[in-house]
Amino acid sequence: MNKYKYTALKAFAKQVFFNAGMADEQADGAALALLSADLRGIDSHGIARLSGYMRLVDKGRINPKPRLNIIHESPSTATLDADAAIGLISAPYAMQIAIDKAKSAGTGWVAVKNSNHFGIAAQHAMMALDHNMIGIAMTNASPLVAPTFSTSRMLGTNPMAFAIPAASEPPIVADFATTTAANGKLEILQRKSLDAPEGWIQDAQGNSSVNPHELSQGGALLPLGSDREHGSHKGYCLGAVVDIFSAVLSGANYGPWVPPFVAFLDPPSDPVGDGIGHFFGAMRIDAFRPAEDFLHHTDNWIRTFRNAQRSNPEQPVVIPGDPERECEALRRVEGIPLHPAVESDLKKLAEKLGLNFSAEACA
Amino acid sequence: MNKYKYTALKAFAKQVFFNAGMADEQADGAALALLSADLRGIDSHGIARLSGYMRLVDKGRINPKPRLNIIHESPSTATLDADAAIGLISAPYAMQIAIDKAKSAGTGWVAVKNSNHFGIAAQHAMMALDHNMIGIAMTNASPLVAPTFSTSRMLGTNPMAFAIPAASEPPIVADFATTTAANGKLEILQRKSLDAPEGWIQDAQGNSSVNPHELSQGGALLPLGSDREHGSHKGYCLGAVVDIFSAVLSGANYGPWVPPFVAFLDPPSDPVGDGIGHFFGAMRIDAFRPAEDFLHHTDNWIRTFRNAQRSNPEQPVVIPGDPERECEALRRVEGIPLHPAVESDLKKLAEKLGLNFSAEACA
């Protein structure tokens, strides 16, 4: 795979967002949030989605010139109407409100409606770290997941992210779909014509399946836990909490009404709210105890878990965020590898917009 | 199994707590919290644990006359030193602080240190419902769970609970261990000499095991997800978040330092904090949107999910909290069945204290 410089890809994404009508500063912020996924190795959520976002702009579903508006608030909370903004803009905007609320009230919590896909949750949660705060980010998403005992696709992969600061150690950053496997992992198997492991998906009748194409035939992803015996009702609870916090608190669409990311599918014609929903939190460490005490003990927590006895001497015990941070360090130096299909998609997008995009220009 | 009247069991538990030195009101509150587990069908966490709590009083690890003290606070947060109280007392006390903070600041968040086992998390989270608030409760617990890729027991079953109010529908109440299976389920298999399903436990070397006695031989419970391929790293993240919110924020013991519930095992001799830790949250609905709008849409959410297509026509799709509420309705009328081993344990406790306990007296 060809590798591309981070700065070059970010500049390209910014230019695309700018061409779509976004203000310079917003185009820059959206490109930063988008490319954070590529840096951290979450390739399904980065520049590979750029043309998908643009199709939503073309459809009028993403508003490139949104007026973000706080429609409800209290000392520690706010609800934001994102005015159909791209989530890459509304999420950091909302997270900043949460951080500002936390400065005065100890914690800040912001529910967002009328938004769109926000990239990776971790990027937004991590904004809290510089302020010695714990950051939380979650979002609902297009319904692909069946609750335990159901064949209906009712929930998205509904990720939650937590970012927890430390002193000398790198922060703990957990970001995970509340399903057994994210949809991106199925796409990888599809490309390689490989079966999926048992426990990731079910067919349209609710039977366990290993066919990675099952979703296009009425099947569904399974909540974390896979089946009742292995706790899928817990994954279903987590997905439900993300859905309700993100959308029922904010006034967005929830459950089966969440609009699809793909522009060729229309949103449900009977919406129960506006756009998709997110939920953010920021908790000031020193609203609970002196920050240095917390940071010292978080360091100790991290070191203790990192040094736990290994099942396999070759496989370290992982602290949440380790793999993504290591990936970022590497890719900032060596560049970001793009799958040929993504390369070709971006070249078409560049041609359409009269921009330049090539491996040589971005190397 | 003999069935016992709720009111009779609660009166007995209250008397036991009172005899142990608790003030009348605290003994009553502790009995209420304890018996909520029996009512809701979580038999492992109810009156079956009464003599275990008493052994901790005898050991001096539970203080029957605690002075609960807020040691740090902000408009939306507080940290509580529970003074070695039983968690059945410190948890509702802390949750009430969270609710009071939410009344003025929109949300309230309370971290608790120097506490003990608090029964079922749902009972405390549900305190928020009467105030049109969302309630959250979590706690760390004795280390029985190995992180992904490790053989060390580093985390407890670390449950999290969410209680979400509705209008006409009963509230959504989710309460679950962040492991594939709770320890109580292993104890049931042990009594019946049955194997455990694959994915619940590993042996001392980190191999998958179906032996329900594995924990007494150096094995460990597995995080929700069971193995890496099925997302155990996500269950590990959830357990870590509960541990850090409950204990590193509050100043309690975390990870492998959490004191064991059983009195015959001494707490680690090198504590990193005080007692065990809990974390509570209360979010006022109308700090985000008008409460009636939220409640109406929660009703719609519940009905939509309850009416989702069933995989098996005989098995309804479950809304979190349904089974426990149905159990409570039944047990309030028909009584609470007690396992003979629990009956005999309570009879011994009664004899020791000069109290009366019998199926006839409690029928």
Residue-wise pLDDT tens digits, B100-141 = 999 999 999 999 999 999 999 999 999 999 999 999 999 999
Q: B148–A318: do the CB atoms touch at under 8 Å?
A: yes
Whether the pLDDT of residue A363 is over 80: the answer is no
Q: Is residue B328 part of a domain?
A: no
Model confidence, pTM: 0.98
* Per-residue pLDDT at A126: 98
* Per-residue pLDDT at B228: 96
* Per-residue pLDDT at A188: 83
Residues A346-363, mean pLDDT to the nearest whole number = 89
Which chain B positions have a beta carbon within 8 Å of A105's beta carbon? 74-76, 105-106
Beta bridge partners of A173: A163
Q: Do A114 and A161 have their domain in common?
A: yes
- Contact call for residues A316 and B149 (beta carbons, < 8 A): yes
* Per-residue pLDDT at B316: 96
pLDDT by residue (tens digit) across A217-255? 999 999 999 999 999 999 999 999 999 999 999 999 999
**What pLDDT band is residue A191 in, cutting at 50, 70 and 90?**
confident
- CA-to-CA dists, residue A95 to A66, A87, A109, angstroms: 17, 11, 8
Residues B344-358, mean pLDDT to the nearest whole number = 94
**Residues comprising chain A, all counted:** 363
Q: Do B71 and B137 have their domain in common?
A: yes
* Per-residue pLDDT at A360: 78
* Per-residue pLDDT at B362: 74
Interatomic CA distance for residues A271 and A254, integer angstroms: 9
Q: B289–A148: do the CB atoms touch at under 8 Å?
A: no
Mapping DSSP to helix (H, G, I), strand (E, B) and coil, where does residue B201 land?
A: strand
pLDDT by residue (tens digit) across A150-178? 999 999 999 999 999 999 999 999 999 99
* Per-residue pLDDT at B223: 98
Q: B244–A172: do the CB atoms touch at under 8 Å?
A: yes
Structure-token match 């000069």, residue found: B354
Instruction: Looking at the complex, report in whole angstroms how far the Cα of residue B103 sits from the nearest Cα belonging to chain A.
Output: 10
Q: Do A41 and A70 have their domain in common?
A: no
Q: Count Cβ–Cβ pairs < 8 Å, chain A vs chain B.
A: 267
Structural tokens at position B288 = 């985000």
* Per-residue pLDDT at A207: 96
Q: Give the residue from B166, B198, B221 where a domain finishes.
A: B221
Residues B59-80, mean pLDDT to the nearest whole number = 98
Q: Do B44 and B123 have their domain in common?
A: no
Query: What chain B residue is nearest to A308 in terms of C-alpha separation?
Result: B152
- Contact call for residues B278 and B137 (beta carbons, < 8 A): yes
* Per-residue pLDDT at A77: 98
Instruction: Looking at the complex, report in whole angstroms how far the Cα of residue B224 sits from the nearest Cα belonging to chain A.
Output: 6
Interatomic CA distance for residues B242 and B249, integer angstroms: 10
CATH of the domain at A120: 3.30.1370.60
Instruction: Looking at the complex, report in whole angstroms how far the Cα of residue A26 sits from the nearest Cα belonging to chain B.
Output: 26
Q: A248–B294: do the CB atoms touch at under 8 Å?
A: yes
The answer to whether A313 faces chain B, any CB pair under 8 Å, is no
* Per-residue pLDDT at B191: 82
Structure-token match 């706080």, residue found: A70
Q: Is residue B295 part of a domain?
A: yes
The answer to whether B254 faces chain A, any CB pair under 8 Å, is yes
* Per-residue pLDDT at B188: 83
**Judged by CB atoms within 8 Å, which residues 87-116 of B form the interface with A?**
104-107, 109, 111
B20 alpha carbon, distance to own chain's centre: 22
Interatomic CA distance for residues A131 and B64, integer angstroms: 40
Interatomic CA distance for residues B105 and B61, integer angstroms: 35
Residues A87-104, mean pLDDT to the nearest whole number = 98
Best A234, A246, A258 residue to mutate vs chain B (most B CBs within 10 Å): A234
Whether the pLDDT of residue A361 is over 80: the answer is no
Q: B149–A298: do the CB atoms touch at under 8 Å?
A: no
* Per-residue pLDDT at A105: 98
Closest CA to B62 of B10, B115, B135, B124: B115
Out of B185-194, B260-269, B298-307, B340-349, pick the least confident: B185-194
Q: A309–B179: do the CB atoms touch at under 8 Å?
A: no
Q: Do A125 and A235 have their domain in common?
A: yes
Closest CA to A227 of A158, A147, A159: A147
Q: A241–B174: do the CB atoms touch at under 8 Å?
A: yes
Q: Is residue B327 part of a domain?
A: no
Which chain A positions have a beta carbon within 8 Å of B297's beta carbon? 248, 254, 272-273
Q: Do A51 and A82 have their domain in common?
A: no
Mapping DSSP to helix (H, G, I), strand (E, B) and coil, where does residue B132 land?
A: coil
**Judged by CB atoms within 8 Å, which residues 1-60 of A form the interface with B?**
none
HSE, CB side, 13 Å, CA atoms: give it for residue A189: 18
Q: B72–A289: do the CB atoms touch at under 8 Å?
A: yes
CATH of the domain at B217: 3.30.60.50
Q: A151–B311: do the CB atoms touch at under 8 Å?
A: yes
Whether the pLDDT of residue B185 is over 90: the answer is no
The answer to whether B356 faces chain A, any CB pair under 8 Å, is no
Q: Is residue B330 part of a domain?
A: no
Residues 6+ apart with CB under 8 A from A179: A145, A157, A158, A221, A222, A223, A224, A235, A239, B231
Closest CA to B254 of A320, A163, A305: A305
CATH of the domain at A60: 1.10.1530.10
Whether the pLDDT of residue B183 is over 90: the answer is no
Q: Which residues of A20-37 are buried (b: 16+ CB within 10 A; e: fewer)?
A: bebeeebbbbbbbbbbbb
Q: Do B233 and B289 have their domain in common?
A: yes
- Which structural domain, as residue segments, surrounds residue A336? 1-65+328-363
φ, ψ of residue A122 to 5 degrees: the values are: -55, -40
Q: Is residue A90 part of a domain?
A: yes
Query: What chain B residue is nearest to A178 in terms of C-alpha separation?
Result: B234
Looking at chain A, the whole-number percentage of residues with pLDDT higher than 90 is 94
- Contact call for residues B209 and A254 (beta carbons, < 8 A): no
Looking at chain B, the whole-number percentage of residues with pLDDT higher than 90 is 94
pLDDT by residue (tens digit) across A131-141? 999 999 999 99
Residue from the list B79, B180, B273 with its beta carbon closest to the beta carbon of A231: B180
Residues 6+ apart with CB under 8 A from B352: none
Q: Is residue A189 part of a domain?
A: no
* Per-residue pLDDT at A27: 98
The answer to whether A72 faces chain B, any CB pair under 8 Å, is yes
Residues B64-80, mean pLDDT to the nearest whole number = 98
3-class DSSP string for A118-136: CCCHHHHHHHHHHHCEEEE
**What pLDDT band is residue A362 in, cutting at 50, 70 and 90?**
confident
* Per-residue pLDDT at B129: 98
Interatomic CA distance for residues B145 and B156, integer angstroms: 6
Best A99, A153, A164, A230 residue to mutate vs chain B (most B CBs within 10 Å): A230
Whether the pLDDT of residue B355 is over 80: the answer is yes
Residues B313-317, mean pLDDT to the nearest whole number = 97
Q: Do A123 and A257 have their domain in common?
A: yes
Q: Do A7 and A135 have their domain in common?
A: no
Interatomic CA distance for residues A8 and A336, integer angstroms: 10
Q: B150–A283: do the CB atoms touch at under 8 Å?
A: no
Q: Do A2 and A46 have their domain in common?
A: yes
ipTM above 0.85, yes or no: yes
Looking at chain A, the whole-number percentage of residues with pLDDT higher than 70 is 100
**What pLDDT band is residue A65 in, cutting at 50, 70 and 90?**
very high
Whether the pLDDT of residue A300 is over 90: the answer is yes
The answer to whether B233 faces chain A, any CB pair under 8 Å, is yes
Closest CA to A5 of A356, A359, A352, A335: A335
Which chain B positions have a beta carbon within 8 Å of A205's beta carbon? 311
**What pLDDT band is residue A192 in, cutting at 50, 70 and 90?**
confident
Beta bridge partners of A321: none
Q: Is residue A257 part of a domain?
A: yes
Residue from the list A241, A288, A297 with its beta carbon closest to the beta carbon of B162: A241
φ, ψ of residue A142 to 5 degrees: the values are: -50, 140
B345 alpha carbon, distance to own chain's centre: 21
* Per-residue pLDDT at B184: 82
Q: Do A160 and A126 have their domain in common?
A: yes
**What pLDDT band is residue A274 in, cutting at 50, 70 and 90?**
very high
Interatomic CA distance for residues A199 and A221, integer angstroms: 9
Q: Do A160 and A258 have their domain in common?
A: yes
Instruction: Give the DSSP per-residue string, A150-165.
Output: B-S--B----EEEEE-
Closest CA to B37 of B109, B158, B126: B126
- Contact call for residues B230 and A230 (beta carbons, < 8 A): yes
Amino acid at B231: G
Residues 6+ apart with CB under 8 A from B169: B298, B299, B302, B303, B319
* Per-residue pLDDT at A302: 98
The answer to whether A209 faces chain B, any CB pair under 8 Å, is no
Mapping DSSP to helix (H, G, I), strand (E, B) and coil, where does residue B115 land?
A: strand
Crossing angle between the packed helical segments B6-19 and B50-58, to the nearest 10 degrees:
0
Q: Is residue A210 part of a domain?
A: no
- CA-to-CA dists, residue A325 to A172, A336, B10, angstroms: 10, 14, 52
Q: How far does chain A reach from its first CA to its final CA, in angstroms?
A: 12
User: Looking at the 3D structure of chain A, how many domains does it have?
Assistant: 2
Whether the pLDDT of residue A183 is over 80: the answer is yes
